[in-house]
Chains A and B, each alone.
Chain A
């Protein structure tokens, strides 16, 4: 049983116009076995949160903390975080020239586990996982993400999720740009990984449709670098009907709570 805890996280980036604060105090706790959905409009800072957890150098944490079972994640390098059990399925996976998928997967698995996987079983595992995600076998010979379509890149992210078996998976808009069939295939992959019982999931999405396939217990609405509302799956249903308009930018959680109270009265 593990816990990923984010406390009052403030993050800024350096832009040409100067420093810009993007996350304005985010707190979130995820435990093994839980699925949390973070939903919010474009530009609200969802990818910033995901990338900050993974340790992308562009994002500067100005205050707050991230801990994994009490260990200071912010003190870890990017590769240490991955080896500690954090996995980020990226919104835009990059193409890496010169490195074949086979070589990449084996090297990463070796780094994460601290020992090389047994070649026979590993090859079999990779093949089986690829077949389940409907990834062509010849992808192993290609360079990482090179020339893959948007949907193929997302499937390959989930392939890694299934092979690397992280403690926490952060899925940054894995659903975007997928057609219905691909969405199903990818969701099944996430659900398989989750069903093994040793993973917590942070599902970042703009749309609600992936929630038909992956069921979160907790939903957090993210606007302008803050969580403005939290609830159970019913909150997602409500978002599906009403969209994000209710959360006009600048409206704090208190305002929304007050408005809701008024509406219910």
Chain B
């Protein structure tokens, strides 16, 4: 039996209504994690203050109003009550929100064709800040503390054969800051893979510029060791007719929180944001994305899929899509699907769609959390399929939709194997 399945139909532009004011939707309820941990007598009240019309945890303001700043001091210390931190167990951030991030950052090794420029630059490089501005305290903390950035440039009109591979290897558990800039110049075409491995406690800012007519795919793989803590803000700025595909894959680490943001600056651009996560016992894997339709005639398509197994496996997906008043002709769809494989795991899923103009081509969202339970297992086994095969069949089929999007055969194979290993972990 599939439970808690909510599916919303794709909605078109409501022609009778010229304007929908701050339309938001809420998926699941507030995490008790931080509320329960907090000793503050305000905890309960603070939670309640976020509710509108009886619903719990509905953001009290538009995503457009979220604070962004390069200065750490502009962000208040975190309490866990903040809208964007309410699901995150702050205690497990290992100081990313409180410490000076002066530990050794993960080492960066870039390999790719000669046509791609790779530079190591200081804080004063003109390209720093060209696509991103921190949207939370942990990101601002990294911005304030990084000493050196890696800049990868795909020159104008260059079509890169094969992928640019960026291997980021953790250097231990001292809290650290990382900064990467990826620039896809006009009419270039390329694939960049960020491959996070080893043990690290790191806050990372990735700035991505996709200039007019360029096509860029960025694949961010989090295959950390079990003790890693990783916060990654990955912000992309798109020019006219630019195409950007983003694939976030989080498998390893103790706590991984990826926050992709896409901003359109000129019409005709398109983003596809995909994600795959597989949380085991005790893991916290969080993804919060933001698509800012600030100009007319752009497209966005979002699909994140997650599997969970084991006690206290926790995943969070929050999808903020904002269609501003100017963004006529927008076409957007976002979906999150979770598959809970065992008891004791928890998936939070919150799509937020804000529409400030009625003149759009389409806007929709869906969120569904299904359980793989004994009845599914019975059905498959009653057709002769052994239990292990049945479990694998379900998870592989479910996650394959994202893996197929990668289109780099070596990485597809590697991730398929990684998913098999995750599944093998349930067998004992």
Residues of chain A touching chain B, judged by Cβ–Cβ distance below 8 Å, are: 54-57, 77-79, 81-83, 88, 90, 93-100, 103-104, 107-108, 111-112, 143-144, 160, 164
A56 to B376, CA, bound (A): 11
B422 to chain A, nearest CB (A): 14
The 8 Å CB contact of B379, one of A96, A143, A164, is A96
Minimum CB–CB distance from A83 to chain B (whole Å) comes to 5
Which residues of the other chain, B, contact A82 by a CB distance below 8 angstroms? 381-385
Whether the Cβ atoms of A79 and B339 lie closer than 8 Å is no
Given contacts A82-B384, A112-B383, contact A56 B397 (CB under 8 A): no
Rounded to whole Å, the gap between the CB of A204 and the closest CB of chain B is 15
A-B contacts counted at CB < 8 A amount to 84
Instruction: List, in ascending order, chain B residues with CB within 8 A of A99's CB.
Output: 380, 393-394, 397-398
Could you tell me if A98 and B397 are in contact, using CB atoms closer than 8 angstroms?
A: yes
Evaluate contact between B398 and A93: CB separation under 8 angstroms. no
The contact string, 1 if C-beta is below 8 Å from chain A, for chain B 115-145, is 0000000000000000000000000000000
The answer on a CB contact under 8 Å between A77 and B381 is yes
Shortest distance between the CB of B9 and any CB in chain A (Å):
13
Interface-central residue, B384, B385, B389, by most chain A CB under 10 Å: B384
**Contact status of A79 and B2, CB under 8 A, knowing A56-B378, A96-B394, A98-B397:** no
A38 to chain B minimum Cβ distance, whole angstroms, is 19
Say what secondary structure dominates the interface of chain B.
Answer: helix
Shortest B10–chain A CB gap in Å is 15
List A contacts of B385 (CB < 8 A): 79, 82, 107-108, 111
Asked whether A164 and B383 contact (CB < 8 A) given A95-B2, A107-B393, the answer is yes
Known: A96-B376, A97-B2, A103-B397. A78 touches B381 (CB 8 A): yes
Contact pick for A97, options B370, B374, B382, CB 8 Å: B370
A-B contact pairs, 11 of them (CB 8 A): A78-B381, A79-B386, A81-B382, A82-B382, A90-B379, A96-B379, A98-B370, A100-B397, A103-B397, A104-B380, A108-B380
B392 → chain A, closest Cβ, in Å? 10
Which 7 A-B pairs have CB atoms at the shortest separation, nearest pair first?
A98-B398, A82-B384, A108-B383, A111-B384, A78-B381, A112-B384, A79-B381
Shortest Cβ distance from B276 into chain A, in angstroms?
13
Which chain B residues lie closer than 8 Å to A112 at the CB level?
383-384
With a CB–CB cut-off of 8 A, which chain A residues contact B384? 79, 82-83, 108, 111-112, 164
**How many B residues, CB 8 Å from partner?**
26
With A79-B384, A96-B394, A112-B384: A57-B389 Cβ-Cβ less than 8 Å: no
The answer on a CB contact under 8 Å between B339 and A98 is yes
Q: List B353-391 residues whose CB lies under 8 Å from chain A.
A: 370, 372, 374-376, 378-387, 389
Distance, CA A103 to CA B397, complexed state (A): 8
CB distance from A75 to the nearest CB of B (A): 15
A82 to B397, CA, bound (A): 23
Complex Cα spacing A112 to B389, Å: 13
Give the distance in Å from the alpha carbon of A108 to the alpha carbon of B2 in the complex: 21
Whole-angstrom distance between the Cβ of B24 and the nearest chain A Cβ: 27
Which of A54, A57, A81, A96 is in CB contact (< 8 Å) with B380? Answer: A96
- The proximity string for B residues 388-411 relative to A, scoring 1 for CB distances below 8 Å and 0 otherwise, is 010001111111000000000000
A94 touches B397 (CB 8 A): no
Q: Does B1 contact A (CB under 8 A)?
A: yes
Checking B378, B394, B397 against A78 with a beta-carbon cut-off of 8 angstroms, the contacting residue is: B378
Shortest distance from the beta carbon of A13 to any chain B beta carbon, whole Å: 14
Question: By CB atoms of chain A within 10 A, which of B372, B379, B394 has the most?
Answer: B379
Q: B370 contacts which chain A residues (CB < 8 A)?
A: 97-98
Cα–Cα, bound, A56→B2 (Å): 18
Question: Is B389 in contact with A107, judged by CB distance below 8 angstroms?
Answer: yes
Q: Tell me which residues across on chain B come within 8 A of A144, comparing CB atoms.
A: 379
Closest Cβ neighbor of A81 among chain B residues:
B382
Given A108-B384, A111-B385, A57:B2 Cβ within 8 A: no
Residue of A nearest to B371 (CB): A97
- Taken residue by residue from 308 to 335, chain B's Cβ proximity to chain A (1 for < 8 Å, 0 otherwise) reads as 0000000000000000000000000000
CB distance from A26 to the nearest CB of B (A): 20
Please give, as numbers and ranges, the residues of chain A lying within 8 Å of B378 by CB-CB distance: 56-57, 78, 94
- A-chain residues with CB within 8 Å of residue B396 when the two chains form the complex: 98
From residue A226, how far is it (CB to closest CB) to chain B in Å? 25
CB neighbours (8 Å) of B398 from chain A are 97-99
Give the complex CA separation of A48 and B370 in angstroms: 26
Whole-angstrom distance between the alpha carbons of A81 and B389 in the complex? 16
Most chain B beta carbons < 10 A, residue from A81, A90, A104 = A104
Within 8 Å CB of A143, what residues of B?
Answer: 397
Bound complex: CA A98 to CA B370 (Å): 10
Shortest CB-to-CB span from B376 to chain A, Å, is 5
**Minimum CB distance partner of A113 in chain B:** B384
By the criterion CB–CB under 8 Å, are B383 and A94 in contact?
A: no
Known: A78-B381, A79-B387, A103-B393. 18 other contacts (CB 8 A): A56-B378, A77-B381, A79-B381, A88-B382, A90-B382, A94-B376, A95-B2, A96-B376, A97-B376, A98-B370, A99-B393, A107-B385, A108-B385, A111-B386, A111-B389, A143-B397, A160-B383, A164-B384
